[in-house]
């Protein structure tokens, strides 16, 4: 039984090994097969051309009407009817003074853009570095001075506040001391009034009642006593309310202000009580004492009033002084803010001058150069279009406009008949005519001679359009670079006009490029067998469905085509 179990166990192990081998084969086999299916292209340098393909027919000796692409005043007519002209010879020209000025400005703009780019790439000069370093040092010094000035005015304010507090405490202390003395003066006057009551006004007469009422009011304000009309000195001395109580308990400035006001009101009541005494009843000695009490009360009142005015003036003056100090602090803070802004600007300028040119700054300068170059090319093209030249060797058969006349765009100026050379005439769609210029090289294939490829160049672009089946075309003449035996009028020709040509540039098949949200990517096959998706910047697209790579790849890279 154990032998049978051992036999089955071995069989199970071999089955598991076989399954594992199959799985590994599928994984590595499929992976290897997928890798073998990749279509790789090596990135390399080569020439690239961009063509415009068109068909035409061979012609010989057909007259051509010449006109300007733009209007203006005809300044010069350089030929006469019947005159023989060579290919490229100037025939007529429009007035172009204003356009020359525009071209001059365009050239200056290009020079300035190129100079700015060169300056950006070269970096600042030693003099510029010294200038910005000095500016940064000066701004740093100005900021430090402004901060020091702010700290100084803040310290001055703190010192001023301390001095004001000391002065204020002194003013209040003097006022409080005089108020305490005034309590005794007022109390003595009440004692004097009490003596007068007991000696002269004991009966319930009008003068007695008047004095008692005045005394009671004064005692209430000075001592806080109620109904003290006929109180004796002992009773009055035992009262510590009213102004007397406020003066005794006063410690804080606000309490002293309150006690001082209460004391002034109490003394005014005491003076009123003294004034209420019927002097006709008094002896000469008591009359003199009454006068003395009045004088004392008035002097004390004057002193307390002066203290109150001094305190008020001190508050006003000190507040004005503090306000001025606060304004000085605010002004110093503004100076710090201004100095900080100047320092930040100077630091940014210094860092910009000492750092490498930013990529966005380079791109901006390059864009300005391209724009200026495009404007200059446009001016050159417009200037070129303001001169009519003979597209071929021939004879002027008719002149329809004279110097000084205004010529409209496309209006015939003269007609010329070519000599016996063969040419190819092709109709170019209006959407493509802007790319065609005289002098562009052309590759020519004649249907009658399929094994021959001839060369030529664009000789003439007619500005007068032709409407064919409601579509606008422009006639173009192509000259052969050399004669070819077998040429005859009426032959059909396929032409390739070279619009753009670049030599020794990196190119890749367009099939290897994918585009996502305006960005272009290729898949690069690495030497370790991995694949990297890499972003590239593309340029010119040309023959063979190939496209120029401006950046992102290097010669020798292996890329995967789709």
Instruction: Reply yes or no on whether the pLDDT at 287 is more than 90.
Output: yes
Helices of type H across 37-125: 97-122
Instruction: Reply yes or no on whether the pLDDT at 385 is more than 70.
Output: yes
Q: What confidence category does residue 17 fall into, taking pLDDT thresholds of 50, 70 and 90?
A: low
Q: What confidence category does residue 239 fall into, taking pLDDT thresholds of 50, 70 and 90?
A: very high
8-state DSSP, 147: H
Retrieve residue 237's tokens: 């001395």
Q: What confidence category does residue 246 fall into, taking pLDDT thresholds of 50, 70 and 90?
A: very high
End-to-end CA distance of the chain: 63
Instruction: Reply yes or no on whether the pLDDT at 24 is more than 80.
Output: no
Structure confidence by residue, pLDDT tens digits, 428-443: 988 888 889 888 899 8
pLDDT of residue 357: 76
Instruction: Reply yes or no on whether the pLDDT at 271 is more than 50.
Output: yes
Of residues 489 and 282, more confidence is placed in: 282
Instruction: Reply yes or no on whether the pLDDT at 3 is more than 50.
Output: no
Average pLDDT over residues 275-298: 93
Domain limits of the chain?
2-36, 172-333
Pairing of strands 90-94, 387-389: antiparallel
Instruction: Reply yes or no on whether the pLDDT at 166 is more than 90.
Output: yes
Retrieve residue 355's tokens: 């750092």
303: CB partners within 8 A, 6+ apart = 178, 182
Average pLDDT over residues 530-545: 84
Average pLDDT, the chain: 86
pLDDT of residue 314: 93
Alpha-carbon distance 150 to 140, whole Å? 15
Instruction: Reply yes or no on whether the pLDDT at 40 is more than 90.
Output: no
**By C-alpha distance, which of 530, 504, 433, 425 is closest to 473?**
433
pLDDT of residue 29: 40
pLDDT of residue 19: 64
pLDDT of residue 18: 61
pLDDT of residue 221: 96
Average pLDDT over residues 173-201: 94
pTM for the structure as a whole: 0.44
């Amino acid at each position: 039984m154990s032998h049978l179990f051992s036999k089955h166990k071995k069989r199970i192990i071999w089955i598991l090994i076989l399954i594992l081998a199959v799985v590994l084969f599928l994984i590595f086999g499929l992976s290897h097969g997928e890798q073998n299916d990749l279509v790789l292209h090596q990135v390399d340098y080569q020439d690239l051309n961009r063509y415009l393909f068109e068909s035409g027919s061979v012609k010989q000796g057909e007259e051509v009407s010449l006109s300007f692409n733009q209007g203006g005043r005809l300044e010069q007519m350089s030929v006469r009817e019947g005159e023989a002209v060579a290919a490229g010879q100037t025939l007529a020209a429009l007035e172009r003074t204003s356009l020359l000025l525009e071209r001059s400005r365009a050239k200056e703009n290009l020079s300035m853009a190129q100079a700015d780019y060169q300056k950006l790439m070269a970096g600042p000069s030693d003099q510029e570095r010294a200038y910005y370093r000095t500016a940064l040092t000066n701004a740093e010094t100005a900021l430090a001075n402004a901060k020091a000035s702010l700290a100084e005015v803040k310290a001055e304010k703190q010192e001023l506040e301390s001095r004001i507090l000391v002065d204020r405490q002194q003013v209040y202390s003097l006022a409080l001391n005089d108020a305490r003395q005034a309590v005794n003066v007022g109390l003595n006057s009440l004692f004097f009034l009490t003596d007068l009551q007991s000696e002269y006004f004991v009966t319930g007469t009008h003068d007695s009642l008047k004095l008692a009422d005045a005394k009671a009011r004064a005692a209430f304000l000075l001592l806080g006593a109620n109904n003290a009309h006929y109180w004796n000195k002992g009773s009055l001395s035992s009262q510590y309310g009213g102004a007397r109580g406020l003066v005794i308990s006063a410690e804080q400035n606000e309490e002293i202000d309150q006690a001082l006001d209460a004391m002034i009101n109490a003394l005014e009541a005491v003076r009123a009580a003294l004034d209420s005494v019927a002097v006709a009843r008094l002896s000469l000695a008591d009359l003199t004492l009454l006068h003395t009490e009045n004088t004392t009360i008035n002097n004390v009142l004057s002193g307390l009033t002066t203290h109150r005015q001094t305190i008020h003036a001190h508050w006003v003056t000190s507040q004005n002084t503090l306000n001025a100090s606060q304004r000085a602090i605010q002004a110093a803070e503004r100076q710090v803010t201004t100095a900080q802004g100047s320092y930040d600007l100077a630091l940014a300028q210094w860092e910009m001058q000492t750092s490498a040119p930013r990529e966005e700054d380079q791109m901006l300068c390059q864009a300005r150069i391209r724009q200026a170059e495009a404007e200059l090319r446009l001016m050159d093209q417009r200037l070129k279009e303001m001169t009519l030249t003979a597209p071929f060797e021939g004879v002027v058969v008719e002149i329809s406009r004279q110097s000084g006349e205004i010529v409209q765009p496309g209006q015939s100026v003269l007609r010329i008949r070519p000599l016996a050379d063969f040419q190819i005439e092709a109709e170019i769609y209006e959407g493509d005519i802007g790319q065609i210029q005289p002098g562009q090289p052309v590759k020519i294939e004649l249907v009658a001679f399929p094994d021959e490829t001839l060369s030529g160049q664009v000789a003439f672009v007619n500005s007068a359009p032709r409407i064919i089946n409601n579509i606008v075309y422009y006639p173009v003449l192509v000259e052969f670079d050399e004669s070819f035996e077998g040429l005859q009028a009426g032959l059909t020709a396929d032409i390739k006009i070279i619009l753009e040509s670049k030599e020794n540039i990196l190119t890749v098949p367009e099939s290897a490029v994918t585009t996502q949200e305006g960005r272009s990517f290729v898949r690069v096959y690495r030497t370790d067998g991995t694949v990297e998706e890499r972003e590239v910047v593309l340029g010119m697209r040309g023959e063979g469905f190939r496209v120029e790579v401006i950046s992102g790849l290097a010669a020798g890279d292996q890329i995967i085509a789709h």
